[in-house]
Amino acid sequence: MDQPTDLTDLSDDELSRRCQALRLQATRGNQAALREALALEAEAERRFRAATTLSAPLEAMSIGRRPWWRFW
């Protein structure tokens, strides 16, 4: 596969497509494809790590007043 030497030159879509194609080849026993897929997945994780909600600040939800009776 024709891969640029710098992974940061790849667009997000191209990075995802290459990861998927290399993973498919790796499931068929291609060890070189597995190594390349791992490198591309590490780059994808580095790019998208900040986009997850895991790093978002936690804020308390306002519950409001509860009724004094219990509805059943």
The number of distinct structural domains making up the chain is 1
Question: What is the per-residue pLDDT across 7-16, written as a single tens digit (0 to 9) for each?
Answer: 778 888 898 8
Distance CA 22, CA 15 (A): 11
Residue 69 lies in a domain: no
Residue of 43, 39, 60 lying closest to 8 (CA atoms):
43
Question: What is the per-residue pLDDT across 56-72, written as a single tens digit (0 to 9) for each?
Answer: 666 766 667 777 777 76
3-class SS of residue 71 = coil
Q: What is the pTM of this model?
A: 0.60
- Judge contact between 10 and 4, C-beta under 8 A: yes
Question: What is the per-residue pLDDT across 10-59, written as a single tens digit (0 to 9) for each?
Answer: 888 898 899 999 999 999 999 999 999 999 999 988 888 766 666 666 67
Q: Do you know the residue count of the chain?
A: 72
- Domain region containing 32: 7-50
